[in-house]
Amino acid sequence: MLYSEKVMDHFQNPRNVGKMEDADGIGEVGNAKCGDIMRMYIKVNPETQVITDVKFNTFGCGSAIATSSMATELIKGRPVSEALELSNHAVVEALDGLPPQKLHCSVLAEEAVRAAVRDYYDKNGIAYGEELRECPGHCESCGHEHCGE
């Protein structure tokens, strides 16, 4: 399996690792097949709705750590609405690719961001639509190519 330099860099030197005690939103997702678990923490400015800080803890393979790290980099400093637009494809592209058998890690990163935003919205009484409902694990429901693997 060949990994890009960016994947190796984010695996060996992950950004934004750690627990956030005062998080405004926390999302945890996992993949039962591979055992990866991601927990994403976000801090949001209530006036601007900008994600001012983001942290993650990931138990999993190098690709899971790299995708978590890259996802945090892609949403930090962005409005929550833009963070919701983050796709697994954008994470893969930002990492200069992942091996096909590791694409599910990018889906987990996307889902962790969405779960953290969903938690933030729930805690603050902010309504959201179907795009934030939890994925039941089959692709017809969420459109992911690799969920439920």
Residue type, 46: P
In the set 105, 135, 142, 147, the catalytic residue is 105
Verify whether residue 34 is a known catalytic residue: yes
Q: Cα–Cα distance between 17 and 72 in angstroms, integer?
A: 9
Total residue length of the chain: 149
Verify whether residue 105 is a known catalytic residue: yes
Active-site annotation, residues: 34, 105
